[in-house]
């Protein structure tokens, strides 16, 4: 029996201890190379390559552009903009976050970094936002390609009444609280995973039609929400009340694996994921699912690179000061 990838030495190419032993200068070099070609700084204001270093009295690295005369740092205009911790800590936080297979809670991250919960909460969501940038504009499938579609409901838990005679059928819409949402996932076989959040599965049909390339073969379960897909794509259905896969290769096991990972992240780490944050947790689960065979060193470089390439967060910059709110 072959060894699981996560148990092999190939999965471990970066240790947290190596990150924590980095000097400030070494961490600066890592982030410079992540952001700019050959680590040569370019002004984010006017894109002038002629800049020079001008460190603050505290030793913090700053650059000044010779053209526009504006100052900037390595993280200016990125998801890590306005950072308060040393750069080494951000690299360590990314390593801790990526090393978890299912997910990392903000509470655990705050203990690992010895920071306030709200600092870890915002940082974890910025890393999720970085992961999500890979999914922007992504389309799946194509001719002779198969995309599995499925939905999973989260949130909106209704506590049952204490006494049996006062209990109601919580499956009925009239007995729900309106907070329940569904994560609809499109997963290409031997390809990428693309999730989105809706109020119901039937609301996702336009999203699926827009993100599936022409000629894509869709596979879905017996839910009536997917019936309208038959007029747009070749669709194969599997009735899970009878079997989970048939001999002709019709199944949605890949989509089910995604929800297995997401459910375990909710139960084992976060305990509750819903509301405005649900889409970010779904995008994180998709990224982890698609990169599960990548060694942790490349994972850290990938997420850090995405964070350095992304613009300043609209959702989380100044979140706790209420300058911006996630809606």
Position 320 scores a pLDDT of: 66
> What Rg value do the Cα atoms of the chain yield, rounded?
23
Instruction: Print the SS3 string covering 86-119.
Output: CHHHHHHHHHHHHHCCCCCCHHHHHHHHCCCHHH
Position 321 scores a pLDDT of: 59
The three-point CA angle 44-48-53 to 5° equals 75
The 10 Å CB-count burial string (b at 16+, else e) for 205-229 is: beebeebbeeebbbbbbeeebbeeb
Distance between CA 69 and CA 53 in Å, rounded? 12
Taking only the tens of pLDDT, the chain with its 327 residues reads 678 888 899 999 999 999 999 999 999 999 999 999 889 999 999 999 999 999 888 888 999 999 999 999 999 999 999 888 999 999 999 999 999 999 999 999 999 999 999 999 999 999 999 999 999 999 999 999 999 999 999 988 888 888 888 888 887 888 888 788 999 999 999 999 999 999 999 999 999 999 999 999 999 999 999 999 999 999 999 999 899 998 889 999 999 999 999 999 999 999 888 788 999 999 999 999 999 999 999 999 999 999 999 999 877 877 765 544 444
Task: State the CATH architecture for 142-281.
Answer: 2-Layer Sandwich (3.30)
Position 171 scores a pLDDT of: 77
Position 32 scores a pLDDT of: 95
Position 1 scores a pLDDT of: 60
DSSP 123-159: HHHHHHHHHHGGGTT--EE-TT-EEEEEEEEES---P
Domain locations in the chain as residue ranges: 5-40+75-134+309-321, 142-281
- Kindly report the pTM of this predicted structure: 0.91
Distance between CA 185 and CA 258 in Å, rounded? 8
Position 33 scores a pLDDT of: 95
């Amino acid at each position: 029996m072959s060894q699981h990838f996560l148990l092999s030495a190939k999965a471990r190419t970066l240790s947290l201890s190596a990150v924590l032993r980095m000097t400030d200068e070494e961490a600066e070099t890592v982030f410079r190379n992540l952001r700019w070609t050959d680590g040569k700084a370019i002004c984010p204001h006017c894109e002038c390559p002629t800049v020079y270093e001008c460190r603050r009295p505290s030793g913090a690295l700053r650059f000044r552009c010779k053209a526009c005369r504006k100052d900037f740092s390595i993280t200016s205009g990125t998801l890590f903009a306005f950072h308060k911790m040393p750069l080494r800590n951000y690299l360590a936080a990314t390593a801790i976050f990526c090393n978890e297979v299912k997910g990392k809670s903000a509470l655990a991250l705050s203990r690992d970094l010895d920071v306030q919960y709200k600092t870890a909460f915002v940082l974890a969501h910025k890393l999720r936002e970085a992961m999500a940038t890979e999914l922007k504009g992504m389309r799946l499938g194509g001719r002779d390609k198969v995309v599995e579609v499925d939905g999973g409901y989260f949130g909106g838990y209704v506590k049952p009444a204490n006494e049996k005679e006062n209990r109601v059928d919580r499956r009925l819409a009239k007995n729900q609280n309106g907070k329940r949402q569904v994560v609809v996932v499109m997963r290409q076989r031997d390809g990428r995973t693309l999730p989105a959040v809706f109020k119901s599965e039937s609301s996702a049909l336009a999203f699926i039609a827009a993100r599936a390339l022409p000629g894509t073969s869709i596979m879905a379960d017996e839910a009536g929400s997917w019936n309208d897909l038959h007029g747009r794509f070749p669709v194969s259905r599997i009735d899970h009340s009878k079997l989970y896969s048939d001999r002709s290769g019709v199944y949605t096991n890949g989509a089910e694996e995604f929800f297995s990972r997401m459910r375990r992240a909710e139960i084992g780490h976060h305990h509750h994921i819903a509301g405005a944050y649900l889409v970010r947790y779904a995008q994180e689960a998709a990224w982890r699912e698609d990169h599960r065979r990548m060694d942790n060193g490349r994972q850290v470089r990938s997420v850090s690179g995405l964070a350095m390439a992304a613009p300043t967060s609209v959702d989380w910059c100044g979140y706790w000061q209420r300058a911006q709110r996630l809606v």
